[in-house]
Each structure stands twice: as C-alpha cells, then as structure tokens.
Structure 1
C-alpha cells in the first residue's frame, strides 16, 4: 500500500486541537466561577459570624442592672459601712452586724445589716490575727488572754476557729509580754514580786503561764 493511502493520526488533525482548546477554556472558566462562588460564600459566612459576635457583645446586661437597681439604698449603705468596719477596724463579722443594728451604733434595720453581711466578702481569720497583734503590741497580753478576748461576747466576737488561727499565727514573745505587764504593775501599783507573779498567772488576771511569769519576776529589776 502506498504512503498516500495512510490516514493521519487523530491528534495530528487540526480540528482535534481546536476542539481540545475549546474544552480547556470551558473547564477553566467553570473552575474560576466555582472558586469565586466559594470565596463569596466563605466571606459571607465570616461576615455573618462576626456580626453575630458583635451583637452578642453589645447586648446589655439587663438582668444584673435590674438586680442592682432593686437593692434599696439603705442596704447599699449598710454594706459600705460594713466594709469600712472590716477594713479600718479589723472587726469580726458578728461585731460588725451588732454595730450596724445597734441603737448606739449605726441603727440600720436587721434586714439591711443581714444583706450587708451576706454580701461582704472578707478574710475574718486575718482580721482576728490583726486584732491579736494589736492586743499583744499595745497591751502586752498573754496568749490565753488574747484568745479569750477574741471570742468574748463582750469583746471581739470572733469564732473559735478564727481566734485559734490568730493565736497559731501570732509571732510574739509572751515572756517579754509578761515582763512588760510585771513592770507596769510594779510602777503603777507598787505591787510586790510575789503579788505580781500571782496576778500574772491568775485565771481572773493576766493568764500567763507559770514559766512566763517566772521569767518576768526574774528579770523585773534588770
């Protein structure tokens, strides 16, 4: 068979390449449109999420505001007074309540005082410790004397747990406190050493230990 009788392969025909080019252009065009569509959808989704987030942040806290507005002025004043007593005078929770309601004190209603104490967040153990430190430094009291004063209904009215925390964390040389008390008795009341010793250890007196009292008497004239 002659060469003229052979057919050209299909990929060498001009119309084959024309069709191929048309198909490629069509596919690329559809791909770009799909990409643009997906991009627009993603951007819309992001914008919607951002809008919702902004709306959520901008929502006013109406419930909290309403609750605060519903609190009577007397209650708010009682709370401020309670905070002042706790911070400036290191008072106990019970003592503050009594001061708020006392006829000789702040004269708030029991409801207002109760609201104040229920909403006053404070470390009462630390207040007890500060009171204990004050009694030790200014009045040279014994460990037992300070404890009794902290829990006394006629004293500071701290709980036993709060008072014990104060005593356990009070860094004081009680022998020196006993000596200071002994000197005071000697100078102001001209008491004898033995009378001072008895006063220092008495349950109705200073309540120092025997060891602390002996130290005081031994060093009284030094």
Structure 2
C-alpha cells in the first residue's frame, strides 16, 4: 500500500497529539504553581500574569476546591489528583469519566484508582453539559463533523466519554 492511498487518522486519534496535550497541561500546572508559590518582584509577576491569566484562574479554582479540605486528613495524592482534575475540566473541557481515566492512566497522570476517583468526583463548579457543548463546538467548527458524528464522538468509549444526555444537550445547542 502506498503512502498516498493510506487513510490518515483524525487528529484526536493520533497518540502524539495526546502527548503534546499532556505536556501542555503539566506545563500549565507548573507555571501556575510557580506563580502562586513565589513572592518575586512585582515586575516578574506582572509579566508572568499577562501570559498566564486563564491558566492561573483554573489553578485558583482547583486551589479553591481543595482549600476547604486542606486542613483535614486527605492524602496529598488525592489533593493533587483533584487539582489536576480541575485543570482538565476547566481548560480541556473533558468529561468526568475521561478525567478519571486520564488521572489513573499509566500514560497519563498515573494516580491510584482511588485518588483518581476522588479527583474526578470531588470537582466543584463544573457544568458537564457546558463542557460537552464546548467540545461539540470544537468538532463542529474545526473538524466540520456532522451532528451525528459529533454525538458519537462525545459518547464514544474511545472519544470524549460524555453521557448520552450531555451529548444530546451539546448537539441540540450547536446551532444556537
């Protein structure tokens, strides 16, 4: 089979795309951690803030969701899983199940199943319908997929892993 006739995979099914996404997410987490933990001069922090305002907001949400629990006996691994889960929900608009799978994946965050479950189930202020809609809009605008294909991708075991009702909502809101 020649290379010309070989069908190409969609961008979201190529392994290196996901590797890049994971690296970017960890970079965001690292940058936001440096911003919140440092007390450097105001000129350094102001230049950093101009580049990382959206990233910083998502890390602040993650910190806020853990802050009420920080004084309790929750293991650090669980707190870190929750912070990572909040970042995935806020910046990548992932479904709860996709977040859980990413957190426990040996190719992802490598948290224990219990820590991943804690992270995915203790998220605060996440509108899963809104996340599904944002993903659906990406498929519609950037990949020019049909509504049926978008619905299938949103609910697929190998795709976004949203629930049927979340996918139904997203597809119904696409034209609005």
Report the equivalent of 2:110: 107
Q: Please, which runs of 5 or more residues in structure 2 have no aligned partner?
A: 1-66
Aligned with 2:169 (options 165, 171, 179) = 165
CA deviation string 1:78-133 (max 9, x = no partner): 00000000011000000000000000000001111111122112111100000000
Runs of 5+ consecutive residues of structure 1 not aligned to the other structure: 1-63, 173-222
**1:153 aligned to which of 154, 157, 172:** 157
Q: Which has the higher contact order (CA 8 A, sep 6+)?
A: 2
Query: Would the alpha carbon gap of residues 90 and 108 (structure 1) be closer, same or farther in structure 2, given more than 3 Å must change?
Result: same
Counterpart Cα distance in 1 of 2:112 and 2:68: 24
CA RMSD of aligned residues (A): 1.9
- How far has the Cα of 1:66 moved from its partner? 8.4
Distance 1:85 1:114 in 2: 14
The alignment's TM-score, normalised by the length of structure 2, stands at: 0.59
Distance 2:101 2:135 in 1: 18
1:143 to 126, 135, 147: 147
Aligned residue pairs total: 109
* Structure number having the greater helix percentage: 1
Q: Give 4+ residue runs of structure 1 displaced > 4 Å after superposition.
A: 64-67
TM-score, reference length from structure 1:
0.47
Residue equivalent to 1:50: none
